[in-house]
């Protein structure tokens, strides 16, 4: 957890709030492989595919990830009573993903 605080203070604060809750917490992140090529439905091109994983009764947050061609899309589903600022988490994920994508690959 210490490394998370050094690399992403916003995500660290979010994780600390969740861990302090008596409610159980599920974070389900999986890359469901979607189509590798462009597809259409009844002749209409599919621009994006989003994954959605509903939260369970005692869960605070679920995150689902799905690939479509060369893009990953994240779907967040949260208990608004516990995570009223899930939009901030979405922004933090987007920022971290952009930073990761801009990092040169190790050879």
Q: Rg of the chain's alpha carbons, rounded to an integer?
A: 16
For 61-72, write each residue's pLDDT tens digit.
888 888 888 888
Q: Domain residues of the chain, as ranges?
A: 24-102
CA 70, 53, 44, 40 dihedral sign is positive
pLDDT at 36 over 80: yes
Q: What is the pLDDT of residue 30?
A: 63
Residue 10 dihedral angles phi and psi, to the nearest 5°: -65, -45
Q: Does residue 88 surpass a pLDDT of 80?
A: yes
Please say if the pLDDT value at position 1 is more than 80: no
Band (pLDDT 50/70/90 cuts) for residue 29 is low
pLDDT at 2 over 80: no
Cα-Cα-Cα-Cα dihedral of 78, 70, 34, 45, to 10°? 100
72 has which bridge partners? 67
H or E segment at 99? helix 86-102
């Amino acid at each position: 957890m210490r490394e998370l605080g050094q690399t992403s203070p916003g995500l660290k604060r979010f994780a600390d709030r969740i861990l302090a809750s008596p409610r159980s917490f599920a974070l389900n992140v999986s890359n469901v492989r979607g189509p590798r090529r462009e597809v259409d439905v009844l002749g209409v091109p599919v621009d994006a595919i989003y994954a959605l994983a509903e939260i369970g009764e005692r869960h605070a947050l679920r995150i689902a990830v799905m690939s479509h061609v060369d893009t990953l899309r994240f779907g967040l589903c949260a208990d608004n009573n516990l995570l009223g600022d899930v939009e901030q988490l979405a922004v933090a994920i987007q920022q971290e993903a952009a930073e990761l994508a801009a990092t040169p690959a190790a050879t």
